[in-house]
Structure 1
Amino acid sequence: MASFRKRSNGWEYRIRYIDRRTGKYREKSKSGFRTKKEAELAAAAEELRIEEHGFAENGNELIANYLEKWLETYKRPAVKLNTYLVQERNVRLNIIPRWGNYRLKDLTRAEYQRWINELRERYSEGTVRRIHSIFASAISDAIHEFGILRDNPLQKIKIARDEHEDAGKIKFFTVDELSRFLAACVPVKHAKYQHSRMHQALFTLLARTGLRIGEALALTWDDIDLIKGTVSVTKTLIYPLNTDPRVTTPKTRSSIRTIKLDPETIRAMKEYRVNQKETILRYGFQRSDLNLVFHGPDGKWLRINVVREYMYEVCKRAGLPRLSPHALRHSHAVHLLEAGATIRYVAERLGHASIKTTEKYLHVTKKIEKDALDLYARYLS
């Protein structure tokens, strides 16, 4: 409850409230307002902040308490489930064990930098950057959103880069490599389900549409119009902490899109639809109640890690670089740009939230640079 009084430097409000962490009464005041009305408005806003945030002031909050409330109240409702689970797991397993008993105001840049250096001895650059990003975001909110810290000691932290030359580079198949890979995506001799062409169809669709693996595995036949030659992306399959699968909305709003299929992909999907029915009858597979495009013998969703391992096996068998299904998305983007597609078209086709995400592909192939220089030379001649 706020009280007000007029002082020599203007109107003052004083708020008395219970600190949720300690259960004790505390007071907060501020003066210098020209009118009582201004003081009342400021007090109302401050009371709302206290009620809404529930954080101890002046950085006295234990980092463990702050992060738990930050995750539950401000991250869980705001991000995709998979994103939240990654953040929660990193906080629980990496940040809290080291910093949980510290108060927010006890964080120092020097000690934190030493911890980051220690992490780099155990984890990859990408993993450490992910952990740091989560913690830095939480501390930034403590300053700019909640006003319980003034400075951010987690700024300008240096993270050692991976020594390997190709670390962090976009991995993709060349056109020739992709052709060899897709040709090898058939069951080997004496394989259990020799007749099935499911994996070949799946990888063909990924490589020629740029779909994310979760988007492809969530597809039903209702999403694919083989007459119009389109596929509608409205959902994605996730495995929260590698447990039971769940279908949810795509990664971003721009990920909801309709993709035009090229004639070769239409032909491949038509053939696969017939092959799927034949495979179900031949091996006694369970039909999918959800009318899934890709499913296992039990009629349920394929597991992403199983698809990944299958792709690794094919790469090894074909003598190709060991790439993951996501590399097929990269391959599609690179091949489109090499073929002369505009970067905006590629961004829309892949469902990128920002064209800046797509621009990274411009730097991974020499063909684009060569073609651009050839065009420039012809223009000047």
Structure 2
Amino acid sequence: MKGSIKLRGSHWAYVVDIGRDPITGKRKQKTRGGFKRKKDAQAALNKLLVEIDDNKYVNPSNETFSKFIERWFTEHFQKRIGDTTASNKRYLMYKHLIKENPFAQKEMSKITTEDIDSYYSLKIDEGYKASYIRKMHQMLKQVFEQAIRWKKLSSNPVVNAVSPAIKKEEMKIWSPQEIITFLQYCRGEYHRITFLLAIYTGMRRGEILGLKWSDIDYEKKTIKINRSLAYTPETKYIFTTLKTKNAKREIPIPQLLLDELINHQEHQQIWKDRLGDEYQEQGFVVCTKQGSAQDPRNVLRVMNRLVNAAEITRIRFHDLRHTHASILISEGVDIVKVAHRLGHANPKITLETYAHLIPNQDNEVADIFLSALNRSVSKL
């Protein structure tokens, strides 16, 4: 790659090709003037040529942040993630990083770490949770890292910015007595089967709402987990395939739960007969009385109402999954078996989440070691 030196008025300047624009394909040039002596212009040109040859040259972008992030998302990011994730990320991008972002119209090369920190402070003042702000932080970091890879920037202002720390909340679970109390208040409730599935299987809410009658094996007494209902701000509710091979699993269930499922199916048939052709048959175990997909928010409303009435510990729906796992572990069930039942990608995840619940067997281990050593000594 070559450049040239030119005299412009009383000063010298250099002009050099720096490649082509990745979007337009047009040739780009770098020009710099104001040198009093020709040899100074030549020295500056030589330095630039070396940077270009070593692939170290960066041409600062004057593209605004909003334009760059949209282009990055459309041309790069969304092609590498699932549809549900893309929809959620797109919502976050437009709402928080474009529409409600003070530096959205600022040039990429002029955005500073101070801008990023101020942005986080703004979101904290607006009442957003630290965990949600961290998602903004993660996307910002990815955007600027891509700008560096595309030779638009030489440094990432997000690296030294301080996002709010996430406070790990203490896990809340129900005792067996609270489970019994809650289920007593569930009698006659349409969503009784929803809560029974969560408590007796540890299934995720999306997995329960995506469950179909064809997934239940009445003879083997098992439930196959094949899909999940996901929420997206754009399309509202869509059914998705499971992310990992471990998430797609078969769960053994007790006869009690199977009987409850059969009873629920009979009640569902009553609604089918009443509505006739108006019933939207999709084969879902948990659905509206018209047969369509169930809004997850309705499940939460019912749960909150029942918890208040039963006067038991207020927990999230996801904590029913924690409750299921906790009881299994406290009863000595092997962590690998628990991981498989929950659909964790790796037993390590299960262990990290529930390690504090594993019964302390230190004394037993010490006795086992002593017994082994004594056997060896007796043979001497």
With the shorter chain as reference, the TM-score category is 0.7 to 0.9
Q: CA deviation at 1:77?
A: 2.4
- What is the count of residue pairs matched by the alignment? 336
TM-fit CA distance, 1:217: 1.0
Distance 1:266 1:112, change over 3 A: same
Larger radius of gyration: 2
Q: Matches of 2:20 and 2:161 in 1, distance apart?
A: 37
Counterpart residue number, 1:311 = 303
Aligned twin of 1:51:
none
1:33-182 to 2 correspondence within 5 Å?
57-96=59-98, 97-122=101-126, 123-143=128-148, 145-161=149-165, 168-182=169-183
Q: What amino acid maps onto 2:93 in structure 1?
A: V
Any idea what SS the aligned residue of 2:86 has? helix
User: Which amino acid is the alignment partner of residue 116 of structure 1?
Assistant: Y
User: Shift in Å at residue 223 of structure 1?
Assistant: 0.9
Q: How far apart are residue 114 of structure 1 and its match?
A: 2.9
* Alpha-carbon spacing, 1:59–1:171, altered in 2? closer, same or farther (3 Å): farther
Match of 2:240 in 1: 248
Cα drift, residue 315 of structure 1: 0.8
Per-residue CA deviation, residues 231-270 of structure 1 (Å, 9 max, x unaligned), is 1222111232175532221244432222222333223323
- Do the aligned partners of 1:186 and 1:199 also contact (CA within 8 Å) in 2? no
Preserved contact between residue 285 and residue 299 of structure 1 (Cα < 8 Å): no
- Partner secondary structure for residue 245 of structure 1: strand
- Identity among equivalent positions (%) equals 24
Q: Unaligned 5+ residue runs, structure 1?
A: 6-12, 34-38, 47-55, 188-196
Q: Which residue of 1 aligns with 2:187?
A: 186
Alignment-derived partner of residue 44 in structure 2 = none
SS of 2:224's partner is strand
Structure 2 equivalent of residue 191 of structure 1: none
Cα contact 1:333–1:361 (8 A) shared by 2:
no
Tell me the alpha carbon deviations over residues 249-293 of structure 1, each in whole angstroms, 9 at most, x when there is no partner: 124443222222233322332332233334544787954421211
Provide the TM-score with structure 2 as the length reference. 0.76
Note the alpha carbon deviations across 1:336-365, whole angstroms, 9 max, x for none: 222223333322322223444323422554
| TM superposition score normalised by structure 1 | 0.75
Does structure 1 conserve the Cα–Cα contact (< 8 Å) formed by 2:65 and 2:106?
yes
| 2:129 alignment partner AA | S
Residues 372, 281 of structure 1: alpha-carbon distance in 2 compared, 3 angstrom cutoff: farther
CA RMSD of aligned residues (A): 3.5
- 5+ residue gaps, structure 2, are 4-15, 31-47, 372-380
Q: Determine which of 318, 325, 328 is the counterpart of 1:333.
A: 325
**CA shift for structure 1 position 174:** 2.5
- Give 1:53's aligned residue: none
Partners of 2:296 and 2:21 in 1: CA distance: 48
Bigger Cα displacement from structure 2, 149-158 vs 121-130: 149-158
